[in-house]
Amino acid sequence: MARVLARWVDDTLESPLAVDVAIEDQRIVGPSLAFGCIDYDGARRPFTLDEAGIIAFGPGGQIWRTELRDVEMRVGVTFRIFWGQGDEGVYKIVKIATPGSKG
């Protein structure tokens, strides 16, 4: 299991994202849900990421889509998040770490 940290390219201090995923050969593997959190609109918002790239913010919450499952898991790689209504943002992977490890 690895924690992938990504930053919004347009404003690296706004809306950081973290998601815990299984990675093999620089790709997210497994059909199961991944869990993550994004700082959005001034609050930390937990979400699930399914195998189709759907980000869901709990029952009745917003639904977004991402290309995160389609890109190589390495620092510097970019991917998009589609917030709905034609809005999207480009994120860059800034760190991949083992949860609980230092460094």
Note the pLDDT tens digit of each residue in 57-75: 988 889 999 999 999 999 9
CA 89 to CA 103: how far, in whole Å? 27
Cβ-based neighbour number of residue 23 at 10 Å: 16
| Structure tokens given for 4 | 């992938």
Question: Domains of the chain: which residue ranges?
Answer: 2-96
Amino acid at 48: T
Mean pLDDT confidence for 1-10? 94
Residue 12 is classified by DSSP as T
**Which pLDDT value is given to residue 14?**
87
Q: What percent of the chain has pLDDT over 90?
A: 73
**Quick one: how far is CA 86 from the chain centroid?**
19
Mean pLDDT confidence for 66-93? 94
On the question of pLDDT at 103 being above 70, the answer is no
Q: Give the phi and the psi of residue 25 in degrees, each rounded to 5.
A: 50, 45
